[in-house]
Amino acid sequence: MSRRKREEEHENHERWLVSYADFITLLFAFFVVMYSISSLNEGKYKVLSQTLVAAFTGQPTTPEPIRVGAPGADAHRLVDLPPLPQPTSLVPVPDAKQPPKGPRDAGDPVQQQLEQVAQTLRQRLAPQIGDGQINVRMTGQGIVIDIHDSLLFASGDATLSGGAQALLLQIADVLTTLPYQIQVNGYTDDKPISNAQFASNWQLSAMRAVTVVQMLIEQHVVPSRLVAAGYGQYHPVASNATPQGRAANRRVSIVVVSPEASAQSLPSNTGNPS
């Protein structure tokens, strides 16, 4: 019995069209997605721009409503957005309702005590204050006692004169009643100094401050409360162009530092000794 001859299958040359069609479909979907991503919402970007401007200027802003809907009958319909919270300004803006910081309230116990001490000093030092040799004033730092250098030292010297000891005794008698920090500052005029003891105004002003501190310690002012500093000619209170101005700049200042100013500027006494 003869075997039937198998007919050859017809080769399909169009099968590539299926893969091509799939590729075209995916490519079309890709471009649709890319187009939708690149479509910008002008309203949202306008709101973002307003918010950034307000953040850098510190001014509150309420964005304009975003227009939605296709052009036509509903094109003018607006959607009201809730107002944005006030942005935090990068530059501090003073609050009109809050008064600026100034001296302590007159009813504050610390302020009252400092005022009483200043008044006591004015009474005890009235002769020198009347001669213009001493000035007692209240500042944001505390009580400042400005003493002309001629009451304490000879010219170009850091050794206390005989009258200086009696003067500082009067001041120390008041300061011992206070628990606050005391800073003694030395100042000079701009006239250069160079002698066997001091090579500069820095050294002269610093040594004068240290000498006053040592005298206060001898009069039972607690040493841990005392600070000495020399400023040379760099903090004048008058012009150095005249003899009167230079005389005013040569001074020693005893500062009774208020607790608030002390916490900001002076080193703490806490810590373990080495």
Q: Would you list the domain boundaries of the chain?
A: 17-79, 109-265
Burial class (CB in 10 A: 0-12, 13-18, 19+), 83: exposed
Of 10-19, 32-41, 142-151, the range with the highest mean pLDDT is 142-151
The residue assigned the tokens 């000794």 is 273
Q: What is the pLDDT of residues 107-122, one digit of tens each?
A: 688 889 999 999 999 9
What pTM was computed for the model?
A: 0.59
Q: What is the pLDDT of residues 123-150, one digit of tens each?
A: 999 999 999 999 999 998 999 999 999 9
Entry field: residues in the chain: 274
β-pairing, 182-187 with 142-148? unpaired
Spell out where 85-125 has E strands.
Answer: none
Work out the average pLDDT over 177-206.
Answer: 91
- Averaged confidence pLDDT in the chain: 78
**Which tops the pLDDT comparison, 105 or 139?**
139
Query: Given a cut of 60, is residue 93 above it in pLDDT?
Result: no
Query: Given a cut of 70, is residue 85 above it in pLDDT?
Result: no
CA pair distance 82, 139, nearest whole angstrom: 49
CATH topology of domain 109-265: 60s Ribosomal Protein L30; Chain: A; (3.30.1330)
In the prediction, which pLDDT does 75 show?
46
Work out the average pLDDT over 204-229.
Answer: 94
CA pair distance 178, 229, nearest whole angstrom: 21
CA pair distance 134, 253, nearest whole angstrom: 10
Query: Given a cut of 80, is residue 105 above it in pLDDT?
Result: no
CA pair distance 97, 90, nearest whole angstrom: 20
Query: Given a cut of 90, is residue 35 above it in pLDDT?
Result: no
**Which tops the pLDDT comparison, 68 or 30?**
30
CA pair distance 184, 174, nearest whole angstrom: 15
Query: Given a cut of 50, is residue 99 above it in pLDDT?
Result: no
In the prediction, which pLDDT does 208 show?
95
